[in-house]
Amino acid sequence: MNPKSKPKIIIVGAGFGGLFATKGLIRAHADITLIDQQNYHLFQPLLYQVATAGLAPSDIAWPIRGILSKQKNVTVLLDSVNGVDLNTQEVITPQRHLAFDYLILATGARHAYFGHESWEQYAPGLKSIDDATSIRQRILMAFEKAEMTHDEIERQRLLTFVVVGAGPTGVELAGTIAELASRTLAADFRNIDSRSARVILLEAGPRVLPAMPTELTVYAEKSLTNLGVEVRLGSAVTHCDESGVMIGDEHLPSATVLWAAGVAASPAAQWLEANADRAGRVIVKADLSVPDHPNVFVIGDTAAVKDSNGKPVPGIAPAAKQQGRYVSDLLKALIEGRPKLGEFKYKHSGNLATIGRKSAVIELPFIRLTGFFAWWVWGIAHVYFLIGVHSPLLVGLSWLRQYVTYGRGSRLITGRRFNKDDV
Quick check: is 172 catalytic?
Answer: yes
User: How far apart, in whole angstroms, are the C-alpha atoms of residue 179 and residue 283?
Assistant: 41
User: How far apart, in whole angstroms, are the C-alpha atoms of residue 72 and residue 336?
Assistant: 19
Residue 406: half-sphere exposure toward Cβ, Cα within 13 Å: 12
Q: Which helix (H) or strand (E) holds 75?
A: strand 74-78
Q: Which of 117, 120, 172, 242 is catalytic?
A: 172
| Maximum separation of any 2 CA atoms in the chain, in Å | 76
User: How far apart, in whole angstroms, are the C-alpha atoms of residue 223 and residue 208?
Assistant: 11
User: How far apart, in whole angstroms, are the C-alpha atoms of residue 184 and residue 173?
Assistant: 15
Strand 74-78 and strand 61-63: the pairing is: unpaired
- The DSSP bridge partners found for residue 81 are none
User: How far apart, in whole angstroms, are the C-alpha atoms of residue 239 and residue 270?
Assistant: 29
Is 33 in a helix, a strand, or coil?
A: strand
The secondary structure of the chain in percent helix, strand, coil, rounded to multiples of 5, reads 35, 25, 40
CB-based burial label for 72 (10 Å; 0-12, 13-18, 19+): exposed
Strand order in the sheet with 102-105: 74-78, 31-36, 8-12, 102-105, 293-298, 289-290
Q: Which helix (H) or strand (E) holds 203?
A: strand 198-203
Q: Which helix (H) or strand (E) holds 105?
A: strand 102-105
Q: Going by C-beta distance under 8 Å and a sequence separation of 6 or more, which residues neighbour residue 278?
A: none
Q: Going by C-beta distance under 8 Å and a sequence separation of 6 or more, which residues neighbour residue 88?
A: 97, 99
Q: Going by C-beta distance under 8 Å and a sequence separation of 6 or more, which residues neighbour residue 160?
A: 197, 198, 200, 244, 252, 253, 254, 255, 256
Which of 47, 40, 18, 41 lies closest to 382 in space, CA to CA? Answer: 47
**Residues recognised as catalytic:** 172
